[in-house]
Structure 1
Amino acid sequence: MSDEGGDSRQQYSDEEFLQAVRDRQPASTGEVADVVGCTRRNADYRLRRLRDEGAVDAKMVGNSLVWFPIEDQPNQQKDR
């Protein structure tokens, strides 16, 4: 079953992506994809959505984005 196209949220939960980032932080997109079991493209899309929602953040390390949870910081835009 493909995880691209349609609503990929049905196949993989946000929590799976968040847990992969927590477990591997700082986590590369490829590492998250491997842990979740999806394509790198799907992981990139989902991680960017989670960043837009305020659940994770990223920074460039060399030519790659690495992801980390921001839940440890108090009240990040969740109530805004």
Structure 2
Amino acid sequence: MPRPRKFDDDELVTAVQACAPAGTSEVADEVDATRQAVHGRLNDLADDGRIKRKQIAKVQVWFTDCR
């Protein structure tokens, strides 16, 4: 079984910026990882204030600061 691709927090932030507002699956596609692999990390980044999240109906979207 192949090992999952490793990615760092900066790659996730860059992916969010590139796709914003981004769904979890879009970010996962950008970093070539599974949705499950990135979801917890996105929540951690939002908790740390590096990205923002918003719940729209049943979907979370991710973005960086609005300017």
User: Counterparts of 2:29 and 2:16 in 1: how far apart (Å)?
Assistant: 11
* Structure of greater relative contact order (alpha carbons < 8 Å, 6+ residues apart): 2
Q: What is the TM-score with the length of structure 2 in the denominator?
A: 0.86
Answering whether residue 41 of structure 2 is matched by residue 39 of structure 1, we say: no
In the other structure, the counterpart of 2:52 is: 57
Q: How many residues align?
A: 65
In the alignment, structure 2 segments of 5+ residues that lack a partner are none
Letter in 1 for 2:4: S
Rg larger in 1 or in 2? 1
Q: Structure 1: which 5+ residue stretches go unaligned? A: 4-10, 74-80
Runs (4+) of structure 1 moved beyond 4 Å? none
Equivalent residue, structure 1, for 2:16 = 21
Give the superposition deviation at 1:62: 2.5
Secondary structure at 1:59 match in 2: strand
Q: Sequence identity of aligned pairs in percent?
A: 35
